[in-house]
Structure 1
Amino acid sequence: MRIQKNCLYCNKELDGRTDKKYCNLHCKSAYQYKKQKEGPQRFFNKVDNQLKLNRKLLKEYNKAGKAVIRAKILIDLGFNPNFFTHYWKNQKGEVYLFAYEFGFLRKSENGKEKFVLVTWQAYMKH
């Protein structure tokens, strides 16, 4: 008695062993790839990808070491301020969040949300 009648990937009728699921290695590999792509993304990958994107955007918009940009611009490009690697608190008590060596401080000026972008400096050590 056959458990699986057709290939899980291409749906061809199977012959051979009764517990066979795929007609060949290509179908097995393609099925596993498709299943992994459709499945939920692992949490670590999601966090890592967001941190990399945040770093890339902060680097791209902060060429001089310090810059100010409207928050909406970065957020529209996929920046998520909830993902950061560490923080630094200045003497005024303002907390800069960092994605690796590129940091940002959220400010509100004239009703507009902005980010002050900075690059990590040696004096910022705890």
Structure 2
Amino acid sequence: MEKQCLDCGNNIKGRADKKFCDDQCRSNYNNRIKATEHPQIKKINQILLKNWKILNTLNPDGKSKITKSKLIKEGYNFNYHTHNYRTKNGSNYIFCYDNGFLELENEWYLLVRNNEEI
């Protein structure tokens, strides 16, 4: 009796422990499993990635100033970030991975990038 591919159901030829007929079927199967496992985590990761892309695009040189309205216009979600960093003088930087900002006066923000390797 031949084994069948877990994704497409076709007969598998080759090693006895083989589960998929090719790399595409393996990838399809695993992507389908991941998509249904934790939809809330996937949604949050998508928001974090979008926030990171916005900060990265608006801050090409690693340090710049921008208005809150520009961040909102680009779709930045202020409810999601990865971590905070408080300086010795009490300034609170909010980061989305390596890109972050410091809230200034009159709805201006200082965008920064942390180039340190983790």
For structure 2, the 5+ residue unaligned runs are: 1-37
Which residue of 2 is the match for residue 31 of structure 1? Answer: none
For structure 1, the 5+ residue unaligned runs are: 1-40
Secondary structure of the structure 2 residue equivalent to 1:93 = coil
Residue 108 of structure 1: CA displacement? Answer: 2.2
Q: Looking at CA atoms only, which structure, 1 or 2, has the larger radius of gyration?
A: 1
Residue 121 of structure 1: CA displacement? Answer: 4.2
Which residue of 1 is the match for residue 4 of structure 2? Answer: none
Residue 84 of structure 1: CA displacement? Answer: 0.7
Superposed CA deviations along residues 75-118 of structure 1, whole A, max 9, x for unmatched, are: 12210122111111112201111111101112223xxx122100
Cα distance in 2 for partners of 1:108, 1:46 equals 32
TM-score by length of 2: 0.61
Which residue of 2 is the match for residue 59 of structure 1? Answer: 56
TM-score by length of 1: 0.58
Q: 1:87 to 1:59 in 2, by over 3 A?
A: same
Q: Which runs of 4+ in 1 moved over 2 A?
A: none
Which residue of 2 is the match for residue 77 of structure 1? Answer: 74
Cα distance in 2 for partners of 1:43, 1:65 equals 31
Secondary structure of the structure 2 residue equivalent to 1:108 = coil
Cα distance in 2 for partners of 1:75, 1:65 equals 20
Structure 1 residue 96 and structure 2 residue 93: aligned?
Answer: yes
RMSD, aligned α-carbons: 1.9
